């Protein structure tokens, strides 16, 4: 598997740039809904997004349920951590089976996926922990959902060109 062997961030950036050039992604095309939908569907972002949305729904329901009935509003962050664990497990399984349909190296991919996801989740958690009190505790669900959506775009590109890419 070429994709998971010692790939530097430089190599990943080269692959992303090659992808952008190959697909003729320009600022003008990037704001054209018809172009973007075709591109996103062709490269399975719609599948990725659907998996992500169902994972986020499970995550947010878990956060809401555990916050409201177990931890209390002042401890919403513990609910976030429980929802995160459920979301990560679901997302890896769905991406492996449905989105990218990988056939090999699942254990290695899982370790990399969890490591990547935890690092990204830590970054997201810091942002959530910082922004939520500013926006207001009662809007915690909206803050979490917004941050997750923003990070999904970067993750899709990384997964597509590296983490879930089977050798051909």
pLDDT digits (tens, 9 = 90+) for 89-117: 999 999 999 888 898 899 999 999 999 98
Higher pLDDT, 36 or 126: 126
Residues in the chain: 168
pLDDT band at 118 (very low <50, low <70, confident <90, very high): confident
Q: How confident is the model at residue 133, as a pLDDT? A: 93
Higher pLDDT, 7 or 10: 10
pLDDT band at 2 (very low <50, low <70, confident <90, very high): very low
Q: How confident is the model at residue 7, as a pLDDT? A: 61
Q: How far is CA 42 from CA 10, 36, 163, in A?
A: 25, 10, 18
Q: How confident is the model at residue 13, as a pLDDT? A: 81
SS (H, E, C) the chain: CCCCCCCCHHHHHHHHHHHHHHCCCCHHHHCCHHHHHHHHHHCCHHHHHHHHHHHHHHHHHHHHHHHHHHHCHHHHHHHHHHHHHHHHHHHHHHHHHHHCCCCCCHHHHHHHHHHHHHHHHHHHHHHHHHHHHHHCHHHHHHHHHHHHHHHHHHHHHHHHHHHCCCCC
Angle between helices 45-66 and 33-42 (to 10 degrees): 90
The residues near 48 (Cβ < 8 Å, ≥ 6 apart) are 95, 99, 152, 156, 159, 160
Q: What is the mean pLDDT of residues 68-92?
A: 93
Cα 84 versus chain centre, distance:
11
Residue 145 has pLDDT above 90, yes or no: no
Q: How confident is the model at residue 132, as a pLDDT? A: 93
Q: For 10-54, write each residue's pLDDT tens digit.
A: 887 888 888 888 888 888 887 888 888 888 788 788 888 889 889
Triad 145, 148, 114: Cα angle to 5°: 135
Instruction: Provide the whole-model pTM.
Output: 0.64
pLDDT band at 6 (very low <50, low <70, confident <90, very high): low
| Separation of alpha carbons 147 and 142, rounded Å | 9
Parse the chain into domains and list their residue ranges. 9-163
């Amino acid at each position: 598997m070429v994709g998971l062997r010692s790939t530097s961030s430089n190599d990943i950036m080269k692959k992303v740039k090659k992808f952008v050039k190959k697909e003729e992604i320009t600022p003008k095309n990037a704001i054209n809904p018809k172009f973007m939908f075709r591109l996103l569907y062709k490269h399975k972002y719609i599948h990725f997004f659907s998996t992500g949305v169902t994972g986020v729904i499970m995550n947010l329901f878990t956060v809401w349920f555990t916050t409201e009935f177990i931890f209390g509003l002042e401890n919403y962050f513990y609910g976030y951590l429980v929802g995160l664990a459920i979301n990560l497990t679901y997302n890896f399984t769905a991406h492996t089976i449905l989105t990218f349909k990988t056939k090999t190296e699942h254990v290695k991919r899982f370790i990399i996926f969890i490591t990547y996801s935890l690092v990204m989740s830590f970054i997201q958690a810091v942002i959530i922990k910082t922004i939520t009190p500013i926006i207001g505790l009662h809007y915690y669900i909206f803050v979490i959902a917004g941050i997750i959506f923003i990070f999904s775009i970067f993750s899709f590109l990384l997964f597509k060109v590296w983490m879930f890419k089977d050798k051909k």
